[in-house]
Homo-oligomer: A and B are copies of this chain.
Amino acid sequence: MTLCVYPVTGIGEIHPGDDLAPIALDAMAGCGITLANGDIVVVTHKVVSKAEGRIADVPTDDAYRALAATEAAAVLRRKGSMIIAVTRHGFVCANAGVDRSNVAGDRAVMLPVDPDRSAHRLRVRWERASGARLAVIVSDTFGRPWRRGLTDVAIGVSGIDPILDLRGTTDGSGYVLDVTEVAIVDEIASAADLAMGKASQVPVAVVRGLSWQRGEGRATDLVRPTSEDLFR
């Protein structure tokens, strides 16, 4: 089945206290998008964080670094002024997810306090408004070891299990699949990022045509337990 990703343009600057759910719905309507059963709405965390007031003044580089340190539950590595940190959610990323791009003035955006809950709230609103069964993914852009460049991943999830578990599934030759756990929500976040484009300020995309199962998982389920992690 063909998978399509529709960028939702026309969402302006988001400010603390803005009600993102109807703002995004209006923008979707302006793009001719009517949410339908099985749609997955991907939202970059920046607009979620801004609406939730997760913005702070960082008049200096030192203030920015101090904020990142405050957001970090643990620091894995340091490189110049950048830290690779574990956030309170358990995610590992640069500067504990505190970011100065796409913010007006000397301000920085932090990750939502509970991105799974943010995703859930948006899903409830959008499902009520549309009558459709949806999934919602809140995304961010993370680096990774070994490979250059960044990719978008899911940091908040609602309505879909983050891991597609293929254990026991056989391939065309009757062999049990080696690949048993697909981080499907990370792949969806990456697909959405392609349609959004980094520099074009499109914070929402609708993914349609994917076959997925409704689930109650959370993005924090994606955090590999420290005991199983060979690279800390």
Contact = CB atoms under 8 A, between A and B. Distances in A.
28 contacts: A1-B7, A1-B195, A76-B230, A79-B230, A92-B147, A99-B178, A100-B175, A100-B178, A101-B175, A101-B178, A141-B182, A145-B145, A146-B231, A147-B183, A148-B181, A148-B221, A148-B224, A149-B163, A151-B151, A151-B190, A169-B198, A171-B199, A172-B201, A179-B198, A186-B190, A191-B191, A191-B194, A197-B211
Contacts of A211: 197
A188 interface: yes
Identical copies in the complex: 2
A182 B149 CA distance: 5
B181 A187 contact: no
Interface in A13-69: 13
Given A191-B190, A221-B148, A3 B4 contact: yes
A6 B99 CA distance: 35
Interface in A67-112: 76-77, 79, 84, 91-92, 99-105
Interface residues of A, number: 73
Nearest to A100: B178
Contact of A173 (B5, B102, B183, B231): B102
A184 interface: yes
A49 B139 CA distance: 34
